[in-house]
Amino acid sequence: MNRLKTILVVLAMVLGGQLFAEGIDFKQISFEEALAKAQQENKLVFIDFYTEWCGPCKMMANNVFPNERVGNFYNREFINIQLDAEKEGKAAARKYGVNAYPTTVFINGKGEMVYKKVGYRDIAAAITMGKEAIAAVSNGYSMADLKAEYESKKNDERFLKLYIAKMIEYREEPYDAVEAWLKIQTEVKENDVDMMEYLFNHRKYLLVDGKAEEILRANYNEYFDIATSAEEKTLESMQATLVYNTRQVAYKTRDAKLMRAFITNWKELPGSAEKTDELKGYELNYCFLAKDADGYKQLATAYMDSMMSTKTLDQIRADDKATYDDYKATKYSPSIIGNKTLEKMAEGVEATAQKDAIVNIGSKYLKFTDNNKEYKQLLSWIDYGDQLIPSDSAMGKLRADVLRKMENTKTKK
């Protein structure tokens, strides 16, 4: 019996030791606690950003992270944490530009990104990735190092090319760096096919009113002469690409100047003159980004008055029912997407669009509201929205926000 006990104890110790030795030890600590621990131990933080629905994330969790070699290396070199990018890790995911899964990020104790990879990695690639993150710190090519050097090296062609390549590799957006390189570069003639190909390859990062647009306009005919038929189509769409890139960056950075540049150039695009409602929306967003309270309130009131007076509620309901009936009879087929679309259309396509406009515009209008007349104006929009779609949660929240601000305004007086 004693011998049997001894065997069981030894076996338990061996198995227990193997269990503790295997796999990455993901700490059950917060992002902030991981940063503090990294500073204390002079290590990088390794973050596995995942989502519950991500198949490759589950494959790494089941097949890669439990591996003993991976665990031994990562546990020795890093502070390891996992963050659900749609839950507790949402803010961190936004900070590090995580928009695909799995994404693995290495950051230093200051919270600066050092290295980043997107997509599934097998065991060997996971270890290589960790080694590359360490090397990025030691050779000065970490993202944090490159960003720190950027302002002082905007006139260094070689540095800018490296910086742009690294940003693209880490799924960041080098709008400023590409523009800076185009302004100073000397290795490619602007009317040469190599420049055309560079602009095509980097078209996601080009904005209006800069060197990129200047090069395109000056050399458009030369490029068209040397372009293949596929490249001709790309060339024809380049101006629109730059315009909509500018809109995206304006919203992301909340830059009113960029928003105005977008609107000015958008008006020149073919077909934009007929899109009057879109223009009204863009002008509203410009006033909001520019913190032009009077301008925003004036435009918002005009927009809402026009929207609410174009059709009666009965006309909207009748049109929405006709749209629903047509979709169900001619386009609907039972499926997850089809069922979801039908469910949405049952709420009313136009009614939903108007409700969304009230919530979107109304929530921004509220930020500038400071008197009873404006509160009543806003509440009248909400009352109309409640008739469009009764008991809508977003509309209910907006009403609660308005009443809360009204009460706070009274209290202060």
Residues with catalytic roles: 54, 57
Rounded (5°) CA angle 372-374-378? 115
Report the largest interatomic distance among the alpha carbons of the chain, rounded to a whole angstrom. 93
Helix or strand or coil: residue 12?
helix
Task: Reduce the DSSP state of residue 31 to 3 states and report it.
Answer: helix
Rounded CA separation 182/219 (Å): 14
What is the Cβ-side half-sphere exposure of residue 52, based on CA atoms within 13 angstroms?
Answer: 3
In DSSP notation, 225-246 reads: HH--HHHHHHHHHHHHHHHHHH
Q: Which amino acid is at 190?
A: E
Decide: helix, strand or coil at residue 174: coil
Q: DSSP readout, 114-149?
A: EEEEES---HHHHHHHHHHHHHHHHTT-SHHHHHHH
> Hunting for tokens 């030369």 — which residue is that?
222
CA distance 62 to 67: 9
List the strands of the sheet with 78-84, edge to edge.
78-84, 44-50, 103-107, 113-118
Strand extents, DSSP E, 172-262: none
Distance CA(290)–CA(293), nearest Å, equals: 9
Phi-psi region of 91 (alpha: psi -120 to 50; beta: other; left: phi over 0): alpha
Task: Return d(Cα 390, Cα 393) in angstroms, integer.
Answer: 9
CA-CA-CA-CA torsion for 84, 86, 91, 96, nearest 10 degrees? Answer: 70
* DSSP letter, residue 104: E
